[in-house]
Structure 1
Amino acid sequence: MEECCSTKPGKEHDHHHKGHDHDHSHDMGDQSTLKMFLPAIISLVLLLTGIALDYYIKPDWFTGWVRLIWYLTAYIPVGWPVLKEAYESIRNGDVFSEFFLMGIATVGAFSIGEYPEGVAVMLFYSVGEVFQAMAVTRAKTNIKSLLDQRPDEVTVLREGKPMTVKAEKVIIGEIIQLKSGEKLGLDGELLSETASFNTSALTGESKPDTKTKGESVLAGMINLNTVSQVKVTKAYQDSKLSKILEMVQNATAQKAPTELFIRKFAKIYTPIVVFLAIGITFLPYFFIDGYLFRDWLYRALVFLVISCPCALVISIPLGYFGGIGAGSRNGILFKGSNFLDILANVQNVVMDKTGTMTEGVFKVQEVNFMKEFNKDEILKLVNAVESKSSHPVATAIHEYVGEVDHSVPLENIEELAGYGLKTTVKGKELLVGNFKLMDKFDIRYNFKPENMVYTLIAVAYDQKFVGYLTIADSIKADAQLTVNTLKSLKVNTIMLSGDKTSVVKHVADTLGIEKAYGDLLPEDKVNKVKEIKSKNQTVAFVGDGVNDAPVVALSDVGIAMGGLGSDATIETADVVIQDDRPGKIPMAINIGKQTKKIVWQNIILAFAVKAVVLALGAGGLATMWEAVFADVGVALLAILNAVRIQRMKF
């Protein structure tokens, strides 16, 4: 039944949208719109002429067969496609489709001589269908507008000469030359010293992002200054943007409970309506004196037109389309409309600390090593072992120490989740991690780490405690506002982190987060989330989606920060925030709330109007014209309401 919303015109429009030549595409779009409305225009002209001949000019020849053929000619352009759809639906086993309802109603109107009304009902229904197709196409276009962020062609340097080639033909390792104002076609690594990029297509963030040599740059970014060179690191179809597009295009397959309910409801509701209409036609014969078959058939036909569930079947998915579209425009990707529903009612936001509420950019503050150890020698070893880790701490150590000495003979490197790294250098054990790692291997130290509000990296070599490095991370600019907004939405905030408790408490106190837990291993985080869920409360977990995969899977909705940073994030999370801004968390909740509000407004509107007009129709007080308003009018109002979400500012 949902097919009503994406009949052929919509698909045709979609096809046009994929053109990258915008002017040409625009012309084609106009032609497509005219083509969509053409049958309705022909019908309208013939209908109005027929009504004029019937009621005003009244020529002698406009009677009998001539009149019937005239109105049939007016009916065919709009009625034939619907009757064909009804036939197709019946062949596919769906007898009680809305096409079937409109078919019976209008053919019935012809059978009792109500030709103008039969044509008018089908005409208005068809116009409603076209508007629905346009609204859905627009919502889809909004979501798919990211498609235009990928240029088809790029300039590649081959044997020192710039050549224009198709983006999908570029091989990994080739060098792209990017002029000022040009859009990057593939993911790569910047070879130029610095370059400024507009990343708004990917992140919704308008502020230019300056990248330096060696940093990753992504398809869809626009070069803002001088000519830059980029070395391609991923094939066209593997770029982050391609993955995001795929995800957004699949998002509509994940249905919200309200959508699923309406689909099931329509399947039960429509046959009931058909049998009630049969009852309205024949049952009065047994109870009413002066029963006129024609009058009761007319009432039954009016009843059928009113009860068509189109407003519900179309406006609800459209509301969710709008929510997903509004999210993607703001750099928030929802993997399905069900996650909009969950976020609308979420009670707890559980967040990771590093990279979520803090920048995740660590800097070494000081190095405290015992005098008997050679500081430079130990740092060289620590730098070598940390180079095998992807943790932000490793980057901080690398920046502090400098180039990694690859001649260091590391053996049996082991990453212990929640503890740190263990390796062997020339037969001696080297441990680099938190103080829990020291305790795990019975390394004695005369120091109280819990008193420090910095992150500490402890080092042990050859079973002896060497000392520690202090590392600091700064709180994100909008972290405070995020926590305040979540509180105003009556959402509890909880911070879970593998970092030491004193650091976690310090950040939580600064931001006003009520509950914060540090020194947690991945399984401890899982237990904390289970504990919250055991109280029948919904949980959204915000993290980097890689180390926290078990918690993301366990939570009702997993939100990944910095989706541009990790492929694994895009795979595991239910919602991806494309820039690292925590402010997008309450924004995602607000989009969920607004979407739910609009969906329920549409449900109530459709049921209320239909109930009133159904009662009038059954009592013989409503004509086909009121029936048309109850069906097509309500559907159009619901569509306009659903489209509203795409215009909202969040």
Structure 2
Amino acid sequence: EVDPDDVEIGSEIIVNPGEKVPIDGIIVEGDTTLNTSALTGESVPRNAHCGDEIYSGSINMTARITVKTTKEFGESTVSKILDLVENSSMKKSKTENFITKFAKYYTPVVCYSALALAVIPPIVLTIMGQPAHFGDWIFRALTFLVISCPCALVISIPLSFFGGIGCASKNGILVKGSNYLETLSDVKYFVFDKTGTLTKGVFEVTDVVPAEGFDKDHLLEYAAYAESASTHPISVSLKKAYNQKIDNTLVDHIQEIAGHGVEADYKGHHILAGNAKLMKLKGIDYSAYTKAGTLVYVAVDDKYAGCIVISDIIKDHAKEAISGLKSLGAKETVMLTGDSASTADLVANTIGIDTVHSELLPADKVEEVEKLLAKKSEKEKLAFVGDGINDAPVLSRADIGIAMGGLGSDAAIEAADVVLMDDDPLKISLAMKISSKTLKIVKQNIVFALAVKFICLVLGALGIANMWLAIFADVGVMILAVMNATRALTIHN
């Protein structure tokens, strides 16, 4: 093992099953299956053979391979993605804290006003030949200072945001700062990754279509036994759907046909299980199926037996999450994915996504988000929701980046502003509600504190307000504002 920076172009590296590909290169020995979902968003594992180019960040799943590097580590795909993250972060504007702005002007104004109240009226009265009453005006100035103390704002406003952030974390939503909580309420455009965000990223048999003369149970049985020796995710899905213990003594002569499928003998029958290319290769007259997903065609004794559809499962609350966001005022929902157009369109139509862009690379996703950022108004915000390494640059570039914390990659979680700890997209609308209600509480405290203080400042300057009213305007208003701020802790869906 060596530092990736020390590996030169043309070096041969060994990648064992379960390891990530560290540097871009070409396979010079071995055939395997690669999981590229974290890199490209493509949900179906990709077969890779000798001579194929593979990218860093892919996971080697089934066999040991030897890779000849074609790029230095600094130029590899993962390094470019990290560079995109850094550059995207520099473009993001940060909202200045209201208290900092307010205090910058408020504090010197009230201090100079109190000084003026203590000095100017007595001098004017003295010039006019009337008693100055220095003591009275100094008392008024001191009362003015007590009233003007901004404790109610300084304490209650951050406390309101802390309450909102605490409420969010109690509901499994990690918000990394009060400015992000504030921005959430202004989001009008939601952009989603597909695999692992709107779908579970787990393959399951979603449909079994037997041909005439066969039934679903027997079709699954034949396919499961034919694939019994394989550890490919599709094979695992078939065996899981069969849900019976497989007796390996009943199957023999298993042979994998690279890029096509497998053939095997089971209980005296010759079984073929694979893609449409396998059916054509063996001269099987099959019925092409058009449903989106990975299609496994099965033939028994050279007779077409049916088709099994394997696809990524849509998350339980995905459709409800999209409708919830639209009810909260979302103008457009967009899905960006590296997956195929047919699969992406099926998911989008099922859950109600407005716009779909498929077969994208990480840089393409950033480009699509840039177009949306240019399209929206300055007050409207854009949120991106993702989970993979490939989503990290877009999470940084969006006004608000929302990552899946359960299955999400470290890069995505690090780049995001909000993290959903249980990967439930329905929590996005809850986060927006918490943001909206927290801001209402903040605005209530600002209006209440400033209104009371303004009235009491006028009364204090005129000598009508005594020290008791001054203390109420300071401590009393602060207590009431703090009590109102604690309501942010109890926001429910």
Interval containing the TM-score (normalised by the shorter chain):
0.5 to 0.7
What is aligned with 1:611? 454
TM-score, normalization: structure 2? Answer: 0.61
What is aligned with 1:332? 173
Worse overlay, 558-567 or 294-303: 558-567
What is aligned with 1:477? 316
Residue 454, structure 1, aligned to residue 295, structure 2: no
Distance 1:472 1:429, change over 3 A: closer
Residue 637, structure 1, aligned to residue 475, structure 2: no
Distance 1:622 1:510, change over 3 A: same
Distance 1:271 1:555, change over 3 A: same
What is aligned with 1:358? 199
Aligned Cα root-mean-square deviation (Å): 3.9
Give structure 2 stretches of 5+ with no counterpart: 1-92, 211-222, 247-255, 262-287, 298-306
Distance 1:321 1:545, change over 3 A: farther
Match of 2:144 among 303, 313, 323: 303
Given that residues 545 and 573 in structure 1 are in contact (C-alpha distance below 8 angstroms), is that contact kept between their aligned partners in structure 2?
no
Distance 1:565 1:524, change over 3 A: closer
What amino acid is aligned across from residue 487 of structure 1 in structure 2?
A: K
SS in structure 2 opposite 1:347?
Answer: strand
Given that residues 224 and 239 in structure 2 are in contact (C-alpha distance below 8 angstroms), is that contact kept between their aligned partners in structure 1?
no
TM alignment of 1:157-556, pairs within 5 A: 257=95, 260-288=97-125, 289-364=130-205, 383=230, 396=237, 452-456=290-294, 470-491=309-330, 492-536=332-376, 537-556=380-399
Distance 1:469 1:520, change over 3 A: farther
- After superposition, the C-alpha distances for 1:219-274 in whole angstroms (9 at most, x for unaligned) are xxxxxxxxxxxxxxxxxxxxxxxxxxxxxxxxxxxx9846x231243244223322
Give structure 1 stretches of 5+ with no counterpart: 1-254, 369-374, 388-392, 404-425, 433-449, 460-467
Given that residues 305 and 628 in structure 1 are in contact (C-alpha distance below 8 angstroms), is that contact kept between their aligned partners in structure 2?
yes
TM-score, normalization: structure 1? Answer: 0.47
Given that residues 481 and 583 in structure 1 are in contact (C-alpha distance below 8 angstroms), is that contact kept between their aligned partners in structure 2?
yes
- After superposition, the C-alpha distances for 1:105-143 in whole angstroms (9 at most, x for unaligned) are xxxxxxxxxxxxxxxxxxxxxxxxxxxxxxxxxxxxxxx
- After superposition, the C-alpha distances for 1:425-480 in whole angstroms (9 at most, x for unaligned) are x9x98699xxxxxxxxxxxxxxxxx9833223799xxxxxxxx9842233333222
- After superposition, the C-alpha distances for 1:23-78 in whole angstroms (9 at most, x for unaligned) are xxxxxxxxxxxxxxxxxxxxxxxxxxxxxxxxxxxxxxxxxxxxxxxxxxxxxxxx
- After superposition, the C-alpha distances for 1:613-641 in whole angstroms (9 at most, x for unaligned) are 11111111111111111111111111011
Distance 1:541 1:378, change over 3 A: farther
Distance 1:474 1:319, change over 3 A: same
Given that residues 545 and 552 in structure 1 are in contact (C-alpha distance below 8 angstroms), is that contact kept between their aligned partners in structure 2?
no
1:290 and 1:545 map into 2 onto residues whose CA distance is: 77
Identity of aligned residues (%): 47
SS in structure 1 opposite 2:294?
Answer: strand
1:256 and 1:598 map into 2 onto residues whose CA distance is: 22
What is aligned with 2:304? none
Which structure has more RCO (C-alpha within 8 Å, separation ≥ 6)? 2
TM alignment of 1:90-129, pairs within 5 A: none
Worse overlay, 267-276 or 615-624: 267-276
SS in structure 2 opposite 1:494?
Answer: strand
- How many aligned residue pairs are there? 343
Distance 1:545 1:514, change over 3 A: same
SS in structure 2 opposite 1:581?
Answer: coil
> Structure 1 residue 540: deviation in Å?
0.9
SS in structure 1 opposite 2:187?
Answer: coil
Distance 1:453 1:601, change over 3 A: farther
> Structure 1 residue 323: deviation in Å?
0.8
TM alignment of 1:47-126, pairs within 5 A: none
